[in-house]
């Protein structure tokens, strides 16, 4: 994840990258300062360049893209991951359906290994559309929870989010992530940013590039998603998601 952070050239303090794979891993550059988290984050070394040691905060979402795999291989309500985008956009809202994919517990910032997955808000009218949409939105809500915890630790709002990983090809996922965070989400043009970051650091070490600023001359973003959700709706959705997560955490048998 540290290599992915550098692969996205999040070289300035406060810049954040999220990798959307089977799980989601979110890192924030904290510069030369080690930030001791009070909100469930991990403090980690980001990289060392030109003798300067850089640090980061790291948060982990255990179930990201794997919730889509579950819809396909477990529930068998979709034939491919790409089908979730089409299903999600066939309805105007989530109809009050929330999926908390705590299949292996909850990661950052909850760290609750006893939690189990749950779906809330089911009615007779619920079908694969609402469940697919709730699955996609659950990924974004979890990343939102991580980033809000990071903001508390650093006492500042993130300027934007850089995103990479296989799940980012889903436009609905990326747009909802931007909406629920109320910041721009910049999707990487090269998805394998972990390998890219390792290559960049190797190139700097060998003198192929003289500085990160020189690397910046390349094109990095495939597309930038801008928030377009009204604040009232955003607050409502986050509040309802929090109720779903809290209920899940209290359901222990």
* Look-up of token digits 């919730």: 67
208-242: pLDDT as tens digits: 998 888 888 776 788 999 999 999 999 999 999 99
Average pLDDT, the chain: 94
pLDDT tens across 59-104, in order? 999 999 999 999 999 999 999 999 999 999 999 999 999 999 999 9
What whole-number percentage of the chain has pLDDT above 70?
100
Confidence band for 22, pLDDT divided at 50, 70 and 90: very high
Structure tokens at 123: 């009615």
- This prediction's pTM: 0.95
What is the DSSP secondary-structure string of the chain?
-HHHHHHTT--STT-EEEEESSSEEEEEEEET-----SSS-EEEEEEEETTEEEEEEEEEES-STHHHHIIIIII---SSTTHHHHHHTTSSS-TT-EEE--BTBB-TTT-BTT---EEE---TT--HHHHHHHHHHHHHHHHHHHHHHHHHHHTS--SEEEEESGGGG-HHHHHHHHHHHTSEEEEESSS-HHHHHHHHHHHHHHTSSS-HHHHTTS--EEEEE-----HHHHHHHHHHHHHHHHHHHH---
């Amino acid at each position: 994840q540290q290599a992915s952070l550098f692969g996205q050239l999040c070289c300035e303090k406060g810049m954040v990258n999220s990798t959307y794979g089977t799980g989601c891993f979110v890192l924030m550059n904290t510069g030369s300062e080690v930030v001791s988290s009070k909100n469930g984050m991990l403090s980690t070394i980001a990289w060392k360049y030109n003798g300067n040691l850089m640090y980061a905060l790291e948060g982990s979402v255990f179930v990201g893209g794997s919730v889509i795999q579950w819809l396909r291989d477990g529930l068998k309500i979709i034939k491919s991951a790409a089908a979730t985008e089409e299903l999600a956009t066939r309805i105007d809202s989530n109809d009050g359906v929330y999926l908390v994919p705590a299949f292996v517990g909850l990661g950052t910032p909850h760290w609750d290994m006893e939690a189990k997955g749950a779906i809330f808000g089911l009615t007779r009218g619920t079908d694969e559309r609402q469940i697919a949409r709730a699955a996609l939105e659950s990924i974004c809500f979890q990343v939102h929870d991580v980033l809000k915890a990071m903001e508390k630790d650093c006492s500042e709002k993130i300027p934007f989010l850089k995103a990479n990983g296989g799940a980012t090809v889903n436009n609905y996922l990326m747009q909802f992530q931007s909406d629920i965070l109320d910041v721009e989400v910049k999707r990487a043009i090269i998805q394998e940013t972990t390998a890219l970051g390792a290559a960049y650091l190797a190139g700097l070490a060998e003198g192929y590039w003289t500085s990160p600023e020189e690397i910046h001359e390349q094109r990095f973003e495939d597309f930038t998603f801008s928030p377009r959700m009204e604040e009232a709706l955003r607050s409502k959705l986050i509040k309802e998601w929090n109720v779903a997560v809290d209920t899940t955490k209290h359901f222990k048998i």
